[in-house]
Structure 1
């Protein structure tokens, strides 16, 4: 790495990096460590060029510049959405005050924590997907994997910029720790559980980008409302790129379901495993797992931390400014459903401000249901009598009020023996995972695709499916 960084060419940005000597020194110290992390923990498959989208400015013409790029030469930039000089805090006890351009001293620790947690998720998914390029079903899919990976790297840069620019020595220490922790490490795991799970096959990758990246959308959406304006503007720009990650997941599962449906119709059986397809029941098990693991990312249903963040103006609700209430929540109530010791459910009325995690989770759950409808329409089109479903939010949970409960996908509270007896019907078994992984044979020929997934309807940026998206050695 060079001793000095050409900030205009190497790090596209709209935060005037070239004139900030202190920030320059901080990033000059961090970038080589980032590149070492990318070399060690980034994609295993080497390429001579991938057709990637690079953000070079925040404007309509600049945020999506396409060209073939060697991934380790990608220009990870730092961008904030354009500043609104009249922006005011929309909620909490500081409602109506001008948005903060600097970190308020009384909220310094809380803001740093929020940024670190968000930042920790970004490199984690790259680590989880490290080996996937070795089994890509097509060059189109391989290109999408690299696009997701480099953008997760850029999102890490976005959070690291905030830590370096606004949090001094502590921020620099936390920025280095983001590269020290690794997904699944027994000694230094990632902060949130879902980001320590293995993503060992492409069906899991599609599910991750559908369900877990969708959680990222909602978390970024709450931070976009923050009274700390640089964080708000950073997250607003990140949401543009997050949309592509969810597109990869949505259309990826579409294509798996489409191909499975074609095989079911062709051979007139749901048992398409011997025909090289992924059975619908296995797809449902993957849905069950990835959806419930992602629900854990919303935290406990009741949260005093969430209430404090809201009152302080640090983290709002999804689409806060569109809400038709006083944005204080001091007198509002909500309903919490909780399991009882006798195996039944009860509802409890609580202060709404304590249920902000539940509020956000409800928005997410409704959004996830749109995917289920899409995939069921594919089955209906092929006249297949099967329907995918989202499991009950209490199913398979490790966080919150249902973590110690045994709850079926239908929402029935059962004993441990019944749970263990039915578990193989609800979650991917070792045999299921082994079977799916047996299908993961790489297809690197232009215009060709693996037999277990349908080709996409459209290519990237107007290019055809058989475009040379990736140049391999």
Structure 2
């Protein structure tokens, strides 16, 4: 299933065989390019060393080379078709998957696709000006790689809207370019995608925590009985892995440099020495983790139950689960606050599916903590980073309306107000981090607040000229 790059819109879905659909997408394409020029990366470049998808198989699916950003070949790519695939969960478990949208689920499927599609351009908008303060050409290239692939993921959802949802789908595709991150009149749908990404520490946190939420959301849609959506998300997950790599290794390198400065100057307060103190890194972890947890929705959700029962949205790695994949007789425990303490409540497993997905995410996020703490341990430091309690700083779900400390204690509003500056980034913290954000565009050079990477991109050295400026 190689991708046809002779087409105006590269694709492996035989757009040429559906002229009406092809014309509709080609009419949307200029609007997308205009959005990219207006809301995409603000740094003018001649070309960037980017990877471009050329196939959807397991091996050799991408090629690398210098590409002019506005000439990047965004397109429509679905993973391989499996003619024997069956629905793996819900009331229709065991039946053939759908190649068209069942009328009774049309509105629900369209809504799921629109919400997923809305997150993709939002993150590009949030990161628009980050290139102006890139700590190295390597990092600038990684930012641009994330940006172009988020743009391609938008194309993935727009294709589904155009191909399967008629006029309503076309209107929703137009609206995806009309909303903008943080816009007071027309904001993005999900709260986390209206937050600023004003500095590179925030960017690394976003790509670690928020893109990791994206991984799990895509993983549930990959299980969908609507086969085109499943195949779309399966391929998107290949690209998403790099985005999380950027966050994981980015925070690695910040922690490494912080540890070096702490040892060199024998102090925790490395701000005067051009570093980011560990307590500030912890505050950024607390904020981005808690905001990302809100993206999973309420711990108890009848919508999630209905999506599962209908076959629209499964669980993470559904077919590896050792149960009946129907769940009508199963129970689960969800976290909540009762009588001023955090406790659990038994509910139907169907109602607790958001909670189940969130638990998978939490375990995954914990691996980053172990990784970064090994950096501190290797440096001979006693300090450790940690994830706050899942109830901390929540605005969505059963913890919203409660004040929970990072350790999991429920406190009153007075205690919260008096203590929150120890737990969340203050204006002074943000100002200090922002003060370090100075561009370093010379090949092989890097800003003083972050360590260089262990390896370059695609076997290229760190000193390689990943970006040529206009």
Q: Which TM-score applies when normalising by structure 1?
A: 0.98
Matched position secondary structure for 2:45: coil
Kindly report the root-mean-square deviation, in angstroms, between the aligned alpha carbons of the 2 structures.
1.0
Pairing 1:297-312 to 2, within 5 Å after superposition: 297-312=295-310
Whether 2:424 is the aligned partner of 1:424: answer no
Matched, 1:387 2:379: no
1:56: Cα distance to partner? 2.0
Which is worse superposed, 9-18 or 227-236? Answer: 9-18
Aligned to 1:347: 344
Q: Secondary structure at the match of 2:94?
A: coil
Within-5 A mapping of 1:52-451:
52-60=50-58, 63-340=61-338, 342-451=339-448
Structure 1 residue 144: Cα displacement: 0.2
- Deviation per residue, 1:445-468 (Å, 9 max, x gap): 000000000000000001000001
Q: Do the aligned partners of 1:8 and 1:18 also contact (CA within 8 Å) in 2?
A: no
TM-aligned CA distance change 1:250 to 1:214, over 3 Å: same
Mapped contact 1:13–1:56 kept (Cα < 8 A): no
Runs of 4+ in 1 over 3 A off after TM superposition: none
How many angstroms does 1:63 deviate by? 2.4
SS in 1 for 2:411: coil
Match of 1:45 in 2: 43
User: How many pairs were matched up?
Assistant: 467
For structure 1, which runs of at least 5 residues remain unmatched after alignment? 1-5
Per the alignment, in what secondary structure is the counterpart of residue 316 of structure 1? coil
Asked whether the 8 Å contact 2:342–2:408 carries over to 1, the reply is no
Q: Displacement, 1:345?
A: 2.8
Residue 9 of structure 1, CA deviation: 4.2
Higher mean Cα deviation, 159-168 or 345-354? 345-354
* Residues 16/62 of structure 1: CA separation in 2 closer, same or farther (3 Å cut): farther
Q: CA deviation at 1:28?
A: 1.6
Supply the distance in 2 between the matched residues of 1:60 and 1:468 (Cα, whole angstroms).
29
Please list the CA deviations of residues 69-89 of structure 1 after superposition, one character each: whole Å capped at 9, or x if unmatched: 111110002110100000000
Hey, what's the Cα distance between the residues in 2 that align with 1:62 and 1:160?
A: 26
Whole-Å separation in 2 of the counterparts to 1:51 and 1:94: 46
Q: Secondary structure at the match of 1:354?
A: coil
Please say if 1:461 is aligned against 2:451. no
On the 8 A contact 1:12/1:56 being kept in 2, the answer is no
Q: 1:7 touches 1:17 (CA, 8 Å); kept in 2? A: no
**Where do 5+ consecutive residues of structure 2 fail to align?**
none
Choose from 15, 18, 33 the match for 1:17: 15
SS of 1:384's partner is: coil
TM-score, normalised via structure 2 length: 0.98
Give the CA deviation at 1:60. Answer: 4.6
